Structure 1
Amino acid sequence: MLLLASISGQAVAADQTNGNESDDASYSLFDNSPNSRATLTGDWGGVRTYLRNKGIEFGASWTNETAGNVTGGDRHTAAQTNQITAGLDVNAEKLLHWKGASFNFTFTWRSGRNLITDAGLYTLQQPQEVWGRGQTTRLTQLWYNQNLGSGFSFKVGRLPTGADFDNVPCLTMVNYFCGATTGNMDGSRWLNWPVSVWGGLVKYNNPRWYFQAGAYEQNDRNLDNYLFIGYLHGATGVLLPFETGLRVHLGAHGYPGAYRIGGWINTAPAADVLLASNGQPAVMAGMSMLERSGSHGGYLWFQQQLTGTFTETPGEDAIVTQGLTAYVTLTMVDKETGPVSSQVTASLRYLGLPGRKHDAVTLAFGTNHVNSRLATLDWYQAGKKGPRRDSEFAIETDYTAQVTKWLYLEPNIQFWVDPGGYTQKSMITVLGLKTGVTF
């Protein structure tokens, strides 16, 4: 099934009025079901099943996000953007008798337009989460994973950081509720899908809890907008994330929940958002900013099923098959260097409607708080006129219609209050449609 799995994006320090320059839409490409109709192209006359039994799995998907603002913004218009993803999953234990080993190769290609720019929306994050990081072809994953036994494993290669850390499900079309929240807020230092970096992690996992820690290269060249394998020079530091999670069962029905807490330290130099190199507020645009020796942040993520049914495999988060699930995130970013200092989101998703057991309805609310130090800088540079920037609020409701096992349609409506944290700007209403196909 086309279940949105996500990893996400970026907020640009240089120009917060142009929103999030990244996004995230990583989809489950690989369906191990023997039902060949789970993909548009079927079983290829039995070839797919044969290769799967040998440990080789091909997958591809297409995502389109079309959106138009009917209120708010500088002008009313519409824009559409696309992502094509193709990947190869190799179970080396089946193919090479290499116990506990696996490989992955994933490429992405993006094209389209950004509604924030075309309509002049000024929002801090994207109404179309699949837009961003350059409309180009990228190597998004190239990694090797080794299960060492007794719950221990490691992964190394070219990785999006949010593939394993702060990995929040992609519930909607708005970037607030899709992918790693840290990358959505501080994407100049936390690079997520579709961007990969050299890195790796070690993990201990058992049925009740897990802990993992990683190290990822900080290198601005990873944002180059063309296809490349990876650079061997140009790094300015290391991103060091860590995360632990607890799997619980609550109530008389034992409904499953996943509760995670994590943080990160980045050793790369970062520019202060308020102070110039002389230690005083940068009251004039273009001044050289004070350089900090690093940055840090942290996050919480809760997922709790409230009603319905589920399935689970030991050592993995349970999968909701029907019912209501609640999601909550809280993310904090370094206030000296982060343009957005905190984000809170809350979502409710009901899966399995009468007569439509694979359809879902989602209601999501989120807010980003503009760093008060950056708001002060903007106020200074505006001649101390007008209100200072504060918080942006986003609300989205959508209906996910699973038309076939390989096609879904997700119409949605979005409301943006105080876009960009500007209290003087009108509320934005966006009508959107997200379409996904698994080939």
Structure 2
Amino acid sequence: MDRFSVSRALSCCVALSVGIFGEAMAAEPTNGNESDDASYSLFDNGPNSLPTMTGEWGGARTYLRNKGVELGASWTNETAGNVSGGDRRTAAQTNQITAGLDVNAEKLLHWKGASFNFTFTWRSGRNLITDAGLYTLQQPQEVWGRGQTTRLTQLWYNQNLGGGFSFKVGRLPTGADFDNIPCLTMINYFCGATTGNMDGSRWYNWPVSVWGGLVKYNNPHWYFQVGAYEQNDRNLDNYLFIGYLHGATGVLLPFETGVRVHLGSHGYPGAYRIGGWINTAAAPDVLLANDGRPATLAGMSMLQRSGSHGGYLWFQQQLTGTFTEKPGEDAVVTQGLTAYVTLTMVDKETGPVSSQVTASLRYLGLPGRKNDAVTLAFGTNHVNSRLATLYWYQDGKKGPRRNSEFAIETDYTFQATKWLYLEPNVQFWVDPGGYTQKNMITVFGVKTGVTF
């Protein structure tokens, strides 16, 4: 069967899955989860996990679940329009459908400690940055991007080895297990692995998958993991495929460790992580041409560096309220205020954006609305000063150099039913793209999520 026949066949399977799947995958993750995906709240395994629109199919779902098989699908829509800033006033909407299969092989096949996952995604829609001419460094609609197409997003095998050790191999988005943070808003400053949002040419977030794997040690108090992922630009091809066996240019090697703590007289839980990565693939210098001097003319061949690197910190700390937790997993907030902080750095020789800082507050469980939440988030991206110098040279040394972009978003998550949420939000973008001469952008948006 040729490549296009395979693509057509898999597309049909995805369409069928979307029609019959009815529950977000609920199997407990052993190495991360889908929280770098826009459907984070739909795939949440906490005590507020939500029933689905189509129910239990007359008991069929319960039967499959007891056998170790979970079928799931969800739809996310993000609609946004700018009321100030940008080149034009307009609105755009984008969509993602996720369909997947989780298999607990210990239940189904009596294969101790083993599990499998198959996940497909389909994206469609328009990008407000392009339609309105916003120039922002990151997306006002985080579900847009990486091609409006169908992808195999996950195809992996996970094995628990006992004693806290496990491994995972297959087709994986790097950000599903490393730098994996909750999706709090519609701006992707605050949704998905920050490294992939900043440096997407070398770190692929959801929905893009690559060949790779990781080894993890995990106990109730701390964990450590290290992985290896293929660096292959062919994984960005804009159509459905299983994966390529040729075309790799290097290996992405991430590593991460984290601790789980309880602070204060109430023992509020916190999760604190630090990680980094090395990429062995050659990468172009952002300033210097092949002759070692600044590339003052556009289109010049850039000096190739032998690799690249970066690092990140991520903190989550509950400040008030209640929570539940299981050994070896981060605690789940059931009500109260939680703070999140991230700091991400990318090397200045090759990274277009050299640093990002975010800080967010989220309050879950409002009076009379125990599943609703309010979020306030602030973030800034700093354009690499070497890249800003390059642009300044190429513009004839006129005007100010690009600097930092600032983004603020506030959301209200309204849990309309047990399978539907609406998340209206307001976004403010100051110095979009790091251009101090551009006006502030104000965006009104709404994120909608449905679990089928």
Q: 1:34 to 1:246 in 2, by over 3 A?
A: closer
Aligned 8 A contact 1:30 1:58 in 2? no
How does 1:145-294 map onto structure 2 within 5 Å?
Answer: 145-294=158-307
Aligned 8 A contact 2:53 2:451 in 1? yes
Aligned 8 A contact 2:102 2:118 in 1? yes
Give, as a single letter, the amino acid of the residue that structure 2 aligns with 1:189.
Answer: R
Give distance in 1, aligned partners of 2:67 and 2:48. 17
Match of 2:20 in 1: none
Aligned 8 A contact 1:212 1:242 in 2? yes
Runs of 4+ in 1 over 2 A off after TM superposition: 5-8, 26-37
Match of 1:422 in 2: 435
Match of 2:8 in 1: none
How does 1:240-389 map onto structure 2 within 5 Å?
Answer: 240-389=253-402
Give distance in 1, aligned partners of 2:173 and 2:121. 12
Give distance in 2, aligned partners of 1:225 and 1:54. 36
Q: 1:261 to 1:31 in 2, by over 3 A?
A: closer
> Helix, strand or coil for the counterpart of 1:38?
coil
After TM superposition, give the deviation of residue 27 of structure 1 in Å. 3.2
Q: Does 1:132 align with 2:151?
A: no
Give distance in 2, aligned partners of 1:6 and 1:119. 30
Match of 1:14 in 2: none
> Helix, strand or coil for the counterpart of 2:374?
strand
Aligned 8 A contact 1:413 1:431 in 2? yes
Give distance in 2, aligned partners of 1:246 and 1:36. 25
Q: 1:334 to 1:44 in 2, by over 3 A?
A: same
Give, as a single letter, the amino acid of the residue that structure 2 aligns with 1:44.
Answer: W
The Cα offsets for residues 328-363 of structure 1, whole Å up to 9 and x where unpaired, read as 000000110000000000000000000000000000
Give, as a single letter, the amino acid of the residue that structure 1 aligns with 2:248.
Answer: A
Give, as a single letter, the amino acid of the residue that structure 1 aligns with 2:298.
Answer: A
Greater RCO, CA 8 A, separation 6+: 1
Aligned 8 A contact 1:36 1:43 in 2? no
Give, as a single letter, the amino acid of the residue that structure 2 aligns with 1:425.
Answer: K
Q: 2:75 aligns with which of 42, 48, 62?
A: 62
Give distance in 2, aligned partners of 1:205 and 1:35. 25
Match of 1:47 in 2: 60
The Cα offsets for residues 74-101 of structure 1, whole Å up to 9 and x where unpaired, read as 0000000000000000000000000000
After TM superposition, give the deviation of residue 112 of structure 1 in Å. 0.1
Aligned 8 A contact 1:146 1:154 in 2? yes
Q: Does 1:397 align with 2:394?
A: no
Give distance in 1, aligned partners of 2:257 and 2:201. 24
Give distance in 2, aligned partners of 1:407 and 1:395. 25
Q: 1:33 to 1:294 in 2, by over 3 A?
A: closer
Give distance in 1, aligned partners of 2:121 and 2:50. 24
> Helix, strand or coil for the counterpart of 1:384?
coil
After TM superposition, give the deviation of residue 25 of structure 1 in Å. 1.7
Give distance in 2, aligned partners of 1:380 and 1:115. 29
Q: Which runs of 5+ in 2 are unaligned?
A: 1-22, 27-32
Give distance in 1, aligned partners of 2:92 and 2:426. 15
Give distance in 2, aligned partners of 1:36 and 1:394. 30
> Helix, strand or coil for the counterpart of 1:375?
helix
After TM superposition, give the deviation of residue 404 of structure 1 in Å. 1.2
Aligned 8 A contact 2:142 2:188 in 1? yes
After TM superposition, give the deviation of residue 405 of structure 1 in Å. 1.4
Aligned 8 A contact 2:42 2:450 in 1? no
Give distance in 1, aligned partners of 2:313 and 2:270. 14
Q: 1:393 to 1:32 in 2, by over 3 A?
A: closer
After TM superposition, give the deviation of residue 31 of structure 1 in Å. 7.5
Q: Which runs of 5+ in 1 are unaligned?
A: 9-23
After TM superposition, give the deviation of residue 6 of structure 1 in Å. 5.2
The Cα offsets for residues 376-434 of structure 1, whole Å up to 9 and x where unpaired, read as 00000000000000000000000000111110000000000000000000000000000
Give, as a single letter, the amino acid of the residue that structure 2 aligns with 1:70.
Answer: V
Percentage identity across aligned positions? Answer: 89
How does 1:49-128 map onto structure 2 within 5 Å?
Answer: 49-128=62-141
The Cα offsets for residues 127-180 of structure 1, whole Å up to 9 and x where unpaired, read as 000000000000000000000000000000000000000001000000100000
Give distance in 2, aligned partners of 1:36 and 1:342. 34
Aligned 8 A contact 1:347 1:365 in 2? yes
